[in-house]
Amino acid sequence: MSEVNMPKRKEKCENCTKQCNKKQSDEGANSHQERDEVNGQEHEGSQLLLSACLSCDGCLSEEESLKISQQSLEEVERVLALNKKCDVSKHKVLVASVCPQSLPFFAVKFGLDITEAAHKLCAFLKSLGVQYVFDTTLAAGFSILESQKEFIQRFRRRHHDSHALPMFTSSCPGWIRYSERVLGSLVTPHICTARSPQQIMGCLVKDYFSKQQKLSPEKVYHVFVAPCFDKKLEAVREEFYNSLLETRDVDCVLTSGEIYYLMEQRKVSVEELDSVPLDHVLGETGDAALVRHEGRGSEGFLEHVFKHAAKELFGLDVHEITYKTLRNRDFQEVTLERDGETLLQFAAVYGFRNIQTLVHRMRKGRVPYQLVEVLSCPGGCLSGRGQAASDVEGRLDKALVQQMEEAYSSLPVRLPEVNPTLHTLYQDWLQGQDSPQAGTLLHTQYRSPINTQPPHMQW
């Protein structure tokens, strides 16, 4: 497993500090109340708002800025155009993977149920020149199963490993970036090493699928459709780049909103699109039935790990999970009790205001949880700013989010444990669940630069 190489920062990082401070001063006169709701806790003087810092690209290295600039519609259109011009031997096979949390967006926009909307989206992507379109629920299943296994291992070594618990989920790139760049060793040893669904899908496409198609990985151009802009940052991480073949697991991330914009730009009528079923990674024929995992609008890591741990560690079957709301609906906890004893205590913490509260408690040693599902977007993945932003800057389109939640909940739930395709791939692709191949392709690692944050940045 390759190490994370942190790229060099720009020399004058204080410039972004000055810009952010000026921006905050300008905005502060307009709406103290709105800023508090959107960005969370206020800081005075030269201290930056957490959300303002992470949404700013002022501290990106030049290498990062260049890589992220290639995560665009223009880049995809460039590849499609080259396919039309160049010799067939130089063609790229385009593969699109669509995140389950993106499909409700298209269902609402198209005025269709999720399955039919997925078929219309598939038809549009293939009309552009994309050869294969996959749903990424399969990759999420891998990530959930690996997270469950890792939690059990961490729980069992908790008495002699101070970094074992709490375990933080690792599927949100905004949270990962904050942890690595700002929190450092306080948090990074606690982050689950299971790759996110996006990056496992990248391995599936570039390693397994390309071999099935008898293609070298660099001949495949992999586009990932997601609800979140931060997924672009995740795709350009160095550990997901094969320097020998000069190819990334995910070549380009496009948000749901960018795809919809392209449809509008090309004046595509949904009614005129055919209904084209999504493809199967294993190559089977027929429609790939769409399902979801448990959880409220995200991949449900908390619920799956909680039920698995209750059974594996204590022999208890948990059928329904009851959330207890603490600060707000984005800070909730779940408890497993037996005979008055608390056996497990998990939390779901969404949005940077709640993440700040979690971090403050952790610094004081007051985190009672064994697992925390952390997502940077308030409301979870369905509320990603790549699909749920309103016309008012910094605000969500709450009506759209509610419609997406209803559409998402209409999908049937299937546990990854009973997915036969996952079991087949564990054997045929990874040579077993505990194989070195599974450890390399389904896991990664997180670390921080030596100077985690400049002295003027306090949270």
Residues 442-458: what's their mean pLDDT? 61
Nearest-angstrom CA–CA distance, 201 and 193: 16
Nearest-angstrom CA–CA distance, 32 and 40: 11
**Cβ contacts of 357 within 8 Å, gap of 6 or more:** 327, 331, 349
Residue 3 has pLDDT above 60, yes or no: no
Residue 396 has pLDDT above 70, yes or no: yes
Instruction: Tell me if 181 is assigned to some domain.
Output: yes
What does the pLDDT read at residue 392?
74
Residues 147 and 189 in one domain: yes
Instruction: Tell me if 397 is assigned to some domain.
Output: yes
Domain at 85, CATH number: 3.40.50.1780
Residues 215 and 133 in one domain: yes
Indicate the helix (H) or strand (E) that contains 389.
none
- 47 against 415, higher pLDDT: 415
Nearest-angstrom CA–CA distance, 77 and 83: 10
Bridge-based pairing of strands 371-375 and 167-168 is: parallel
Residues 147 and 131 in one domain: no
Residues 313 and 213 in one domain: no
Residues 159-164: what's their mean pLDDT? 94
For residue 166, is the peptide bond before it cis, meaning its omega torsion is within 30 degrees of 0?
A: yes
Residues 120 and 215 in one domain: yes
Under 8 Å between Cβ of 106 and 260: yes
What does the pLDDT read at residue 327?
78
Q: How confident is the model at residue 45 (pLDDT cuts 50, 70, 90)?
A: very low
The pLDDT > 70 percentage for the chain reads 82
User: What's the total number of domains in the chain?
Assistant: 2
Nearest-angstrom CA–CA distance, 432 and 2: 21
Boundaries of domain holding 363: 142-195+293-416
* Neighbouring C-beta atoms of residue 323, cutoff 10 Å: 16
What does the pLDDT read at residue 6?
33
Q: How confident is the model at residue 2 (pLDDT cuts 50, 70, 90)?
A: very low
Tens of pLDDT along 68-117?
777 899 999 999 999 988 777 778 999 999 999 999 999 999 999 999 99
What does the pLDDT read at residue 308?
97
Three-state secondary structure readout of 114-179: HHHHHHHHHHHHHHHCCCEEEECHHHHHHHHHHHHHHHHHHHHCCCCCCCCCCEECCCCHHHHHHH
Instruction: Tell me if 51 is assigned to some domain.
Output: no
Residues 324-330: what's their mean pLDDT? 89
Cα angle value 260/263/267 (rounded, 5°)? 140
pTM for the predicted model, two decimal places: 0.85
Residues 41-68: what's their mean pLDDT? 53
Residues 286 and 309 in one domain: no
Instruction: Tell me if 451 is assigned to some domain.
Output: no
- B/e letters for 379-396, b = 16+ CB within 10 Å, e = fewer, are bbbbbbbbbbbeeeebeb
Indicate the helix (H) or strand (E) that contains 203.
helix 197-203
Residues 407-427: what's their mean pLDDT? 93
Tens of pLDDT along 235-250?
999 889 887 777 899 9
Residues 104 and 216 in one domain: yes
Instruction: Tell me if 215 is assigned to some domain.
Output: yes
> In 3D, which of 298, 276, 289 has the Cα closest to residue 411?
289
Residue 291 burial by Cβ neighbours in a 10 Å radius (0-12, 13-18, 19+): middle
Residues pairing with 341 in the sheet: 338
**Cβ contacts of 412 within 8 Å, gap of 6 or more:** 291, 292
Residues 116 and 224 in one domain: yes
What does the pLDDT read at residue 49?
44
Nearest-angstrom CA–CA distance, 172 and 380: 10
Under 8 Å between Cβ of 358 and 175: no
Lowest mean pLDDT among 43-57, 138-152, 283-297: 43-57
Nearest-angstrom CA–CA distance, 100 and 20: 34
Residues 130 and 78 in one domain: yes
Nearest-angstrom CA–CA distance, 389 and 217: 35
Mark which of 235, 260, 290 sits at the end of a domain.
290
Residues 279 and 317 in one domain: no
Q: How confident is the model at residue 61 (pLDDT cuts 50, 70, 90)?
A: low
Domain at 150, CATH number: 3.40.950.10
What does the pLDDT read at residue 10?
38
CA 18 to centroid of chain Cα atoms? 30
What does the pLDDT read at residue 285?
60
Residues 28-48: what's their mean pLDDT? 37
- Lookup: tokens for 45: 């003087």
The pLDDT > 90 percentage for the chain reads 63
User: Taking all residues of the chain, what is their mean pLDDT, rounded to a whole number?
Assistant: 84
- Given 3-state DSSP classes, what are the helix, strand and coil percentages for the chain, each rounded to the nearest 5? 45, 15, 40
Instruction: Tell me if 459 is assigned to some domain.
Output: no
Nearest-angstrom CA–CA distance, 106 and 408: 11
Mark which of 290, 320, 339 sits at the end of a domain.
290
Residues 182 and 171 in one domain: yes
Residue 8 has pLDDT above 50, yes or no: no
Instruction: Tell me if 273 is assigned to some domain.
Output: yes
Mark which of 228, 262, 290 sits at the end of a domain.
290
Residues 258-283: what's their mean pLDDT? 93
